[in-house]
A and B are shown apart, each in its own frame.
Chain A
């Protein structure tokens, strides 16, 4: 059954697949994870701030994002970002936004909702005595957060944050719906050009599987090391 397959197509397109596709995927994953973490932490702080309205807004944002399919959110931002850009810059027409910026904004906004829930759990896991002691030392709110609470919350939640990043890495493949050349997009373009769907999709599956497996194995090891320390 493998006699009609031509696995050489993979070798011929390796450069394109990894240099164009994988670079896009990994850059998007890394930047979205970073941006999502920053935004997510802000949202978590808003939720825990104790100011009713601020907390409500943050809570609504998280619930809203988490009840929508990522595909729909990708479409939303793809069409919405040019208009928002126009509104921000005061241009006369909707501005042009590149495929990369569009998907980066989408993933940051989407992942922020998920990262914020993780950070919220992390912040809540810090015992009350910690901020109280910081207060007693005369630290301001932002100092308490920056030097006492957030570093510990981040450290405790690191395995979960990394696991979420692996999920994010897999989710970036959904930019396929915008015909963007990420890793899967590149594989699919070669597959359709050469009529080699089976080979290319199998190869894409193997690559995603290998990377995710190695990454989650790394996270498991990290978790084991961290849990011994405490």
Chain B
């Protein structure tokens, strides 16, 4: 293989004048983390609401939940980001569209909201399945005790359902982190984007991508370890995965 390896490249100054190439990658990592965390919060909040809607007795609520999930699941994430980024500002009234376009950090907000909504549909499906998997007696007992529907969800169903779906939620969180890389197409220079620009500036393709790969692997390990810890912390003794 006639490729000039140069692992020292990470400590050479980058052409942007912002320190070394390593600093460039780390700033990308920081942006990936921020985008992913904001997206995950959005995904959890919207996903939980829609997930609950899907399990309510009301047919209308179920329909809304179904339509929401189908809408966000049946379009590629890339297309959804384009819709939020290029199409939405044009369809809004002029003033609002202009405001959106001039927003500082527009790619960041678009990516966080776009990825967040995309992932929320998956969270909703998981949570819906989690609630549906609970024994029917749980809900009946809550009703028998005189809890309202809201209280039943708040004190009985959701605490159990969230514990059950913690493992799949871990993978969805990892997917959220990975999906932020798609935002490279709307100009978000996160980790993959920084690796790509490092490759363009320095021509050290494989060093740049290797570094990004290693960082993604590390993120994965940290998240998986953290979630395992969380799973053990919240486990109910004598129930599900509790001891």
Contact = CB atoms under 8 A, between A and B. Distances in A.
A87 B1 contact: yes
Given A68-B178, A72-B181, A72-B192, A213 B206 contact: no
A72 B87 contact: no
A184 interface: yes
A72 to B, nearest CB: 5
A171 B118 CA distance: 13
Interface residues of B, number: 43
B16 interface: no
Contacts of A72: 181, 192, 195, 209, 212-213, 216
Interface in A79-95: 79-80, 83, 86-87, 93
Contacts of B92: 1
Interface string B170-182: 0000100111111
Given A69-B181, A72-B192, A170 B75 contact: yes
Interface in B184-200: 184-185, 192, 195-196, 199
A176 interface: yes
B216 A67 contact: yes
A204 B77 CA distance: 12
Given A75-B196, A197-B86, A197-B87, A67 B76 contact: no
A144 interface: no
Contacts of A26: none
B67 to A, nearest CB: 11
B179 A201 contact: no
A198 B78 contact: no
B3 A83 contact: yes
A212 B75 CA distance: 7
A176 B81 CA distance: 13
B216 A69 contact: yes
B192 A71 contact: yes
A212 B74 contact: yes
B205 interface: yes
B209 A76 contact: yes
A174 B220 CA distance: 22
B83 A205 contact: yes
Contact of A205 (B2, B79, B192, B219): B79
B195 A86 contact: no
B93 interface: yes
16 contacts: A67-B220, A69-B182, A70-B178, A75-B199, A75-B209, A79-B206, A87-B1, A171-B76, A174-B78, A188-B82, A198-B90, A201-B79, A201-B82, A201-B83, A205-B80, A209-B71
10 nearest A-B residue pairs (beta carbon): A69-B181, A212-B74, A170-B76, A67-B220, A69-B178, A173-B76, A71-B181, A197-B86, A79-B205, A198-B90
